[in-house]
Amino acid sequence: MNTTLQFKDFGFKLAVINELMYNQDILQPKIDAYTFIEKQRNLTASDAYDVIEEEGYDIIPEIKEYFENLEITESMVHEITELSSDGGDDIYLQIIPFWDGEDNVYDVTSAEDVKLLPNLKRATLLFEYPGEQLVKEFKELGVELESI
Determine, yes or no, domain membership for 4: no
- Determine the pLDDT at residue 129: 62
- Determine the pLDDT at residue 131: 74
- Determine the pLDDT at residue 2: 84
Q: Rounded CA gap, 75 and 109, in Å?
A: 25
| Stated pTM of the model | 0.92
Determine, yes or no, domain membership for 3: no
Domain count, the chain: 1
Question: Residue 78: which domain range?
Answer: 10-147
Determine, yes or no, domain membership for 90: yes
- Determine the pLDDT at residue 12: 95
Determine, yes or no, domain membership for 2: no
Determine, yes or no, domain membership for 1: no
Tally of residues, the chain: 148
Determine, yes or no, domain membership for 126: yes
- Determine the pLDDT at residue 1: 60
Determine, yes or no, domain membership for 5: no
Determine, yes or no, domain membership for 39: yes
3-state helix, strand, coil in the chain (%, to 5): 45, 10, 45
pLDDT means over runs of 10, the chain (148 residues): 92 96 95 97 98 97 98 96 90 95 87 96 78 87 84
